[in-house]
Amino acid sequence: MAEQLEATGKFIDLDFFSRELILEIRADLERIQAEGTFVRAGTGQSGQGKGREVRDQVRRDEIHWLEDAIANPIQKILLGKIEDLKNTLNRTLYLGLSEFEGHYAAYPSGGFYKRHLDCFKEDDARIISLILYLNPDWKSSDGGRLRIYDLDSTHVDVDPVAGTLVGFLSREHEHEVLISHADRYGFAGWFKTQR
């Protein structure tokens, strides 16, 4: 992954997590969603979804932020593996990554997220964007692909199939979630530098 990231500014790993762990993470997401603690995602910056303007024309998804201090055992395993990846990327690419923020994401059928960058004008601490997909029975006809644009406006599409981990440079790669024709689940987050 570090070699791909250094060469292209992105990486795709189809089996970073075991299928068993993916199913456990998906079950955790579904349990939290059933409790009603997901919130409509918005755009802009004002701290982990609170007070953000919801813009249906830009994105249609719901999120639930994970917090290390109150993580359950499955979330601790997930966040631990993400921490290991951060340490590996720092060791091999000297990126100075210091923290991670992440959330579960649920896109209903008809959900999407228009083309955007994962950094803010007032805060460019996000260095690498990560997405882990949790959809074990996904078919290409279900849509919902992640489209990652290169600087020359070419792009790569990624099906949100369970176990696929995608990463890319947050400041360089615009991306979008194409319309989903089935419920689509994942975990998304960002490696950041200290502000």
Predicted confidence (pLDDT) at residue 53 exceeds the cutoff of 80: no
Q: Is residue 48's pLDDT more than 60?
A: no
Alpha-carbon span 178 to 111, nearest angstrom? 8
C-alpha distance from residue 41 to each of 44, 60, 110 (Å)? 10, 7, 15
Local confidence band at 54 (pLDDT 50, 70, 90 cut-offs): low
pLDDT bracket for residue 35 (50, 70, 90): very high
Per the prediction, the chain carries an average pLDDT of 91
Question: Would you state the pLDDT for residue 49?
Answer: 47
Q: What are phi and psi of 74, to 5 degrees?
A: -65, -45
Residue 12: the pLDDT is 97
Q: pLDDT tens, 124-167?
A: 899 999 999 999 999 999 999 999 999 888 999 999 999 999 99
**Is the model's pLDDT at 68 over the cut of 70?**
yes
Domains, the chain, in order of start with CATH, read 2-192 (2.60.120.620)
pLDDT recorded at residue 137: 94
Q: How far is Cα 21 from Cα 23, in angstroms, rounded to an integer?
A: 5
175-177 vs 126-133, strand pairing mode = unpaired
State residue 195's pLDDT score: 64
What mean pLDDT is predicted for residues 65-80? 94
**How far apart are alpha carbons 44 and 28 in whole angstroms?**
27
> What CA–CA distance (Å, rounded) separates 171 from 186?
21
Q: Residue 153: its pLDDT value, please?
A: 83
Q: Tell me the average pLDDT across 170-190.
A: 97
